[in-house]
Structure 1
Amino acid sequence: MHIIKAFITIVLFLHLFSCSSYNNTLRVGTSANYSPLAFKDKSGQHTGLEIDYALALGKELNREVEFVEIPFDELINALNENKIDIIMSGMTSNNNRSFKVKFLPPYIQTRIMILIKKDKENSINPSLKEVSSELKIGYVEGSVFGELVKNDFPENPNLPFEGLDQAISALQSGEIDVFLHESPGIVKYAQSHKELIKMTWGTESDALAWAVDYGNGKLYNQVLDIYQKWKINGTLKQIRNKWVPDY
């Protein structure tokens, strides 16, 4: 009888320990295909601005960070289904998404920009208001730019790409003529690829922010407190400047 009681005690202890360890893990959803915000280095490790924010957030919360890699257009469903605790993957905060998830205040403001090859600098109007229907426009699959390109340029060939690296390679090879994306990624690639030129498209700006499920008010308030502290003490800007200097 004593042996049975001891066995049950051990099982309950292991169960509680397992639950405690699970609850102590911050599951961060990322698509890991958006340099310099969230991507993988040559060794396959997650890196980037969002990754640094997530690791710093984990330290503040005293929770281990687990990066859960999910296609970008599936991140919100994963959050709603409790497969992850927070989205930190370069997501634009907009009205459509705000109905499904609760966004924190933005950590960076972005603009829409295009990237082209230098030899086409004089042949492409940066406003893209009047373009040849043969102009091939690329964008990252799952991003808001897919619908934008399809709606504004329905007659143009438009090609989706898995991530920025693939889109840049297509631009360099001539598979596409223009790559349209948010400014952090465009600025980063324009700096490292001298044969490419960046142009601002329009005057509108968007906000990138982290998101949690509406049912997880405790985590939202915790992250909001940390965000506000980082904004005051400069941590938010310090981490951002590592990846997008003087942005």
Structure 2
Amino acid sequence: MSITKINKLDDLLRITFLEWHEEYVANTERSIVKHHEHIWANAVKVKPSELPSDWSHDPDDAYRFTDDIDQNINDWILPRETIQTLYIDHFSTITRGSSLVILIASFEKRLNDLCNSIKCHDQDEIKLSLSDIKGKSYADRVAKYLEKVVGINAGKSTNDERWQNINHLFHIRHKIAHTGDSYNLNKAEQDWIKQHGYKDIEFHGIKGGFLHFSLECINKYEQLLLDGIADKYYRPADEDLDPLD
């Protein structure tokens, strides 16, 4: 089933965002590991006798690359620290940052589909569209629409932790998209990241595990919304039924 062709509310409830994107996140992390392995597989240790006279690093940490990496740098002698920074850390930061931008953009599409499908499903009662709502961010607009127009809990009015997580992720995505790896996070974002064990993201980029954590935050928030939709449109007031039974 094509994602772009899903427009019925019951279809959207059948497939979760996690099912669509869990493998994408796993593939991102696998590609980073493969890249690291490739770099070190082609880094050849230099003999101390081959070092330049002005070499200021540990003689045991001198490397040059084989032709498999880049012909232009085969004659360079690089310390491990430089290889780690330029060819591993930088690549990892760019790859994970790009993946987070794609992940959140895709979730925006998911939220848009949910709001549009609810309007179509309940068009006699709901006259406003998501595009009629203003907010500080896309997530803010969606939460306002679902709470004030549709009448379900989206976490914003109660300051639910699941809403807070999503709000922070949207802000971080925005800064990555517009500033690259210069995140320039505010204090609230820094405190949130530290709280979840990623305190050095501000200076060293997104570390391993953060994409999985982000996906977990998205999944929990989506479940909050789906529960609210199910309660409003699929469950009788006196019963607790699976909306898809």
Higher-Rg structure is: 2
- TM-score, normalised relative to structure 2: 0.28
Name the structure, 1 or 2, with higher relative contact order (CA <8 Å, separation 6+).
1
Question: Which has a greater percent of helix?
Answer: 2
Question: Which has a greater percent of strand?
Answer: 1
